[in-house]
């Protein structure tokens, strides 16, 4: 019985060692375009589609840490105040975040599903195109510039097209609610 237990233990350790040797830490760079901008609720028009760039260092098969940056330009629709006057503004919105993610094992060595958290900083630079800034600030709470702390979750998947290239999609809050793009493994 002792020999059987010892043999099974050695076999399990050998399998674990072989699997650990297959994984090499790497960096995934993702360049994405937002397909559902955050400011869609304001009936805004995207003057520059939300763009994002992430660099994720996958240090184990199941975990990664990374940096993300994103930027968009949106113009509001014409907003009418209670007194009948109107306003319109442009919002240049950017984020810089740290991100941590947990990854599933690769399905068929080609599909990776992951989820995690973003923690960082946002900045909105508002430019009035029409109307009075003090009225829009009083009624909507929108000022010329604003910076905030951002913490949000995301869920995504990456499909490989080859050894180093792939496609990815993510949902989460930030500059866009949904993002798609290309991924390159370094």
User: How far is the C-alpha of 85 from the C-alpha of 50, rounded, in Å?
Assistant: 30
Q: What is the distance between the alpha carbons of residues 174 and 155, in angstroms, rounded to a whole number?
A: 13
pLDDT at 12: 43
**Domain limits of the chain?**
24-185
CB 33 within 8 A of CB 46: no
**How far apart (Å, rounded) are the C-alpha atoms in residues 14 and 8?**
10
Confidence at 1, pLDDT banded by 50, 70, 90: low
Percent of all residues in the chain with a pLDDT value above 90, rounded to a whole number: 41
- What integer pLDDT is reported at residue 162 of this predicted model? 86
pLDDT of 42 reads 64
Q: What is the pLDDT of residues 91-146, one digit of tens each?
A: 899 999 999 999 987 677 788 899 999 999 999 888 888 877 777 777 776 766 77
Strand partners, 30: 54, 183
Residues counted in the chain: 186
Considering only residues 46 and 117, tell me which one the structure prediction assigns the higher pLDDT.
117
DSSP element (H, E) containing 107? none
Average pLDDT over residues 37-43: 71
Q: What is the pLDDT of residues 69-92, one digit of tens each?
A: 999 998 888 888 778 888 888 889
Q: Which CATH class name applies to 24-185?
A: mainly beta
SS3 content of the chain, % helix, strand, coil (to 5): 20, 60, 20
When pLDDT is averaged across residues 8-29 and rounded to a whole number, the result is 62
């Amino acid at each position: 019985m002792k020999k059987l237990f010892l043999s099974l233990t050695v076999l399990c350790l050998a399998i674990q060692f072989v699997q650990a040797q297959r994984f090499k830490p790497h960096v995934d760079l993702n360049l994405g375009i937002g397909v559902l901008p955050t400011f869609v609720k304001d009936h805004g028009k995207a003057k520059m589609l939300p763009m994002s760039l992430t660099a994720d260092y996958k240090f184990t098969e199941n975990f990664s840490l990374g940096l993300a940056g994103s930027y968009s330009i949106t113009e509001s629709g014409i907003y009418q105040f209670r007194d009948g006057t109107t306003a319109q503004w442009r919002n240049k919105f950017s984020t810089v975040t740290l991100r941590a993610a947990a990854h599933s094992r690769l399905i068929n060595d080609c599909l990776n599903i992951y989820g995690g958290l973003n923690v960082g900083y946002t900045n909105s630079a508002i430019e009035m195109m029409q109307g009075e800034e003090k009225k829009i600030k009083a009624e909507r709470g929108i000022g010329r510039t604003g910076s905030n702390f951002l913490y949000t979750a995301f869920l995504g998947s990456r499909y490989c097209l080859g050894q180093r290239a792939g496609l990815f999609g993510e949902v989460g809050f930030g500059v866009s609610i949904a993002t798609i793009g290309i991924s390159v493994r370094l």
